[in-house]
């Protein structure tokens, strides 16, 4: 029997938000790959809480035209499909935005190959200069995915 190991990725909140805002962008196409189980999303409790905090803001709910219950359903599905990780230690690269550290921890702990974010420049600061994953934009990631898989 042949086993296929899916690539593990970590999504920063801005990528998930962009996926819900537009059905035509690279972020949405990445979300579809996760839902089709062609990619494995790494998730930790702090990352899930960050997703929930941002996506359930009234202003965001209005922008994405979803209810709180619909956001909960989306997050529940992502958790169901995800590579769930517990963080037993704090890896603090001291990025400018403290919440970005959560995604570095998740990517590092899950052995993600990519941390996908629209704000790649935010991840070039701090003490963690070398890491086993690549920080990449959604557009660049989707281009690489299509090149390797289509």
Residues 121-140 pLDDT 10s: 776 655 555 677 898 999 99
Residues 26-60 pLDDT 10s: 999 999 999 999 999 999 999 999 999 999 999 99
Transcribe the chain into DSSP letters: ----PPEEEEE-HHHHHHHHH-SSSHHHHHHHHHHTTSEEEEEEHHHHHHHHHHHTSHHHHHHHT--HHHHHHHHHHHHHHSEEE---S------SSHHHHHHHHHHHHHT-SEEE-S-GGGGSSSS----SSEEE-HHHHHHHHHHHH-
Q: What architecture is domain 7-145?
A: 3-Layer(aba) Sandwich (3.40)
For the whole model, what pTM was predicted? 0.88
């Amino acid at each position: 029997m042949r086993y296929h190991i899916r690539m593990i990725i970590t999504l920063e909140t801005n990528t998930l938000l962009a996926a819900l805002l537009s059905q035509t962008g690279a972020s949405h196409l990445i979300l579809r790959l996760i839902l089709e189980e062609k990619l494995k999303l790494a998730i930790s409790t702090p990352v899930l809480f960050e997703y929930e905090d941002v996506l359930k803001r009234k202003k965001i709910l209005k922008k994405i035209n979803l209810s709180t219950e619909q956001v909960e359903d989306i997050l529940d599905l992502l958790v169901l499909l995800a590579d769930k990780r517990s963080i037993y230690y704090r890896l603090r690269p001291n990025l400018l935005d403290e919440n970005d550290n959560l995604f570095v921890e998740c990517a590092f702990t899950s052995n993600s190959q990519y941390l996908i974010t629209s704000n790649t420049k935010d991840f070039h600061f701090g003490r963690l200069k070398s890491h086993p994953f690549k920080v990449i934009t959604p557009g660049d990631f989707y281009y690489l995915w299509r090149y390797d898989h289509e």
